[in-house]
Amino acid sequence: MENQQKQFIATIVVLSILISSVFGFLAGSFAFSRLAQKAGSQQAGRGNFNTTQQEGVVKVVKDVSPAVVSVIATKDLPIIEQQFQDVNPFGDLFPFHIQIPQFQQKGTQKQEVGGGTGFIISADGLILTNKHVVDIDGAEYTVLTNDGQKYPAKVLAKDPVQDVAVLKIDKNNLPVVKLGDSGKIDIGQTAIAIGNALGEFRNTVSVGVVSGLQRSISAASGSGTENLEDLIQTDAAVNPGNSGGPLLNLNGEVIGVNVAMASGAQSIAFALPINLAKKDIEQVKKFGKISYPFLGIRYTIIDQALKGKNNLPVDSGALIVKGSNDNEPAIVTGSPADKAGLKENDIILEADGQKIDKDHPLAKIVEGHNVGDTITLKVLSNGKEKEVKVVLGER
């Protein structure tokens, strides 16, 4: 009886060890499987991030490219032929002949003289591009769409301040771009440029990041040098011919208009924020032109140095002064400022309640209005402050 009990107890112990081993093995296997699955998910997650970003760029390019166009400028240029005339300068004295080249015009021929990029902003054929792309005297313009179709283009309007122009082609039901909000751009975010690189390679795509904001540059164009402000800087490659093309975010929205590149540098390009062009687009749609409000004064911003030099009573504001030449008056005759009674050496302290200083220049405040708006100025004149209301004209 006692032996049977011992055998029974031994059997129970063995069975317990076996069962514990089996459950331990199963639990360990399950835990290892879960850890491996989690690690695999994390690995896949990292891979999916890169894949997702790449897929996002590809999708943006596919969606937007049909609305990106090439703009080609052509002119009738003379065809010059060179001929040689056999001449004996010594007459009958010496049998010596020379050939003198002569040039004759044999008609004219249309030749390409420039070009750039644009993008379609309305289904009925409105196209946004740079002003310098369509600023060639006597040129005609043709738009080449992504599907290879050519359309004659009319220049509807050129912005007198920004490097922006609006074209029109006679075509409906066109693909259009989506306009984003350039006020929400962050440095480091992905930027995609599409354009007619070098005027030869249509819909060339480059990808980079927004590398700077609120840049100011002097850009050379066919009509001279233009000062551009509040630009987006990007390292997405931009080449001659990209001018006027879209700079896009990963949502496929246009955040800028490619306008210039830094010569002598690598991967430094600039784009006009799309918010600056939105007002132009709306004006062209409503009125068929781009108009800018006009005050009619020449001024300089007051700072501590100017205050001390001219013994001024304030260290901020816009001092109304004439230019260095006789044809640069302080107040334009007949202008809104002239009609409102502003005078040379008056100081404009505020405009619509906004203090005037180097960070808030008067010109920027005026440009934020429309032609016909009334702007309220706080003016210091002959030592006394007064309020002046001015109805803005058109530049």
Per annotation, catalytic residue among 70, 132, 206, 280: 132
Q: Is 243 a catalytic residue?
A: yes
Please report, in angstroms and rounded to a whole number, the separation of the first and last CA atoms in the chain. 119
Catalytic-residue membership of 360: no
Q: Are strands 393-394 and 293-294 parallel, antiparallel or unpaired?
A: antiparallel
Q: pLDDT (tens digit, 9 = 90+) per residue, 98-131?
A: 667 766 666 566 777 788 999 999 999 999 999 9
List of domains in the chain: 180-285 (2.40.10.10), 293-394 (2.30.42.10)
CA distance 20 to 74: 88
Task: Write the DSSP assignment of 110-134 as a string of letters.
Answer: EEEEEEEEEEE-STTSEEEE-GGGG
User: Which tens digit of pLDDT belongs to each residue from 54-73?
Assistant: 888 999 999 999 999 999 98
Provide the β-strand partners of residue 347: 319, 380
pLDDT of 78? 63
Catalytic residue among 70, 159, 163, 206: 163
Choose, from 70, 182, 206, 243, the residue flagged as catalytic.
243
CA–CA distance, 135 with 103 (Å, rounded to integer): 30
* pTM (whole model) above 0.85: no
- CA-based R_g, the chain, Å: 35
Longest dimension (CA), the chain: 157
> Other CB atoms closer than 10 Å to residue 220's CB: what's the count?
11
Q: Long-range contacts for 9-14 (Cβ within 8 Å, ≥24 apart)?
A: none
Distance CA 197, CA 150 (A): 18
Q: Is 132 a known active-site residue? A: yes
Distance CA 273, CA 178 (A): 14
Weakly modelled stretches of the chain, pLDDT under 70: 1-51, 76-99, 102-109, 198-200, 219-226, 264-265
